[in-house]
Amino acid sequence: MITEVKVPTPGESISEVELSSWLVSDGDLVRKNQDLAEIESDKATLSLTAPESGKIELLASEGDVVKVNSVVCKIDTSVEVPEEINGDEDEAEENLKAEEKEKAPVADESGQTVSTNESQPDSDVKLTPLARKKMEAEGLNLNDVLAGLKKLTTKEIDKVIDLQDADGQLISSGGEVSRDVERKRMTQLRKQLSKRLVQVKNETAMLTTFNEVDMSALMDLRKKHQGAFVEKYGFKIGLISFFLKASAYALKMHPMVNSMIDEEEIVTPNYVDISVAVQSPKGLMVPVIRNVDSLSLAQIESALKELAEKARTGKVSLEEMTGGTFTLTNGGVFGSMLSTPLINPPQSAIIGMHNIVERPVAVNGKVEIRPMMYVALSYDHRIIDGKDSVGFLVDVKKMIENPLSMLLGGKSAEEALLGL
């Protein structure tokens, strides 16, 4: 019996997707629920899974733009799939985990982290069983593969094979300088991002206001309690979580910054769903953390870690990418000192964090060296006035510079103690 595998519907209004990569080869034996391919829409990357076990026949090529509900492969379910296939893949995964454990960094007597294998690749790299099998057949190891990838398939292995000479050695970058140019088709995600950037420029009255934040108190608080936080929750608390908490407070104080235009109406949600810009191998993605105003710092950090990892590995769902009311972006992780972030439509505002630099500042009539960060708020001036935009950043500044007040819901320690 032949089972057709069709492209699933990623969401409403999406009629076509790009088949970004096959995770299996034509003629392979596949198991039910096995990932067959990755498909990319203009908003997210999704997996195509096998509905039944059998022998697969591929009907589309990588890079093809295919219609939703079109058939991209067939599975002959009359072909029996041996149990050994499942066992072999499980064994390969276990072997990989064992190797990674052996190569894991350890702490020396000084407490510094050192590597037990200087040539080891990134410990986060994941290999599909098919990719590992092909690497072994070609005599390659992880160090030969392109750096920075978080998941390897046969597609990436083929790239390394193409770079080898007749003796199987990787071709060096020395010698004659090439003047060739590389052309590649824009992904659906990049196409949509390009359209939205132009849309912001043409359809909004975007302005940006700036302020600076003294990070001393927050960094001291974080350093003092980081150990206890890790002991209780199992992960560290990052600076972004504090800015998300502060932004949620400021959005409640300035609801117009949390608003958006819908034709001739201004829509102001009574909830705070913040989109967080994450750089992924496929481009910029903005997964959404829901109800940030009602979450604790630990809950915010947990949600942030989960969504960021999904975005980086291309596993974020369409639902997790839509519906935000405000956006936060952090150019500081790339070294940015100051920028004017672009609004993420249909939202009306975005806050930009930047790097922390020690600078001389005047404190109580004296010059002191303090860790300072510039923050920027880009906003649509059609619905957000200067009073709200400046007031929003001032409130964020107050919360970050007085983190105890932020943890107490904007109240001072005295007000909290007195129940005011």
The C-alpha angle with vertex 149 and arms to 99 and 329, in degrees rounded to 5, equals 125
User: Is-catalytic flag, 26?
Assistant: no
DSSP letter for each residue of 313-351: TT---SGGGS--SEEEEEGGGGT-S---PPP-TT-SEEE
Question: In 3-state terms, what secondary structure has residue 3?
Answer: strand
CB atoms within 10 A of CB 99: 13
User: Is-catalytic flag, 381?
Assistant: yes
The Cα 420–Cα 416 span in angstroms is 6
Active-site residue (options: 64, 381, 388, 395): 381
**Residue pair 291/272 in contact by the 8 Å Cβ criterion:** yes
The Cα 14–Cα 8 span in angstroms is 11
The Cα 47–Cα 35 span in angstroms is 6
The Cα 9–Cα 3 span in angstroms is 18
Q: Which residue stretches of 42-171 are H helix?
A: 83-102, 129-138, 154-162
The Cα 420–Cα 418 span in angstroms is 5
237: DSSP letter: P
**Residue pair 317/39 in contact by the 8 Å Cβ criterion:** no
Active-site residue (options: 90, 262, 385, 388): 385
The Cα 243–Cα 238 span in angstroms is 9
The Cα 193–Cα 42 span in angstroms is 8
Give me the residues paired with residue 273 across strands: none
**Residue pair 373/356 in contact by the 8 Å Cβ criterion:** yes
Q: Which amino acids are annotated catalytic?
A: 381, 385
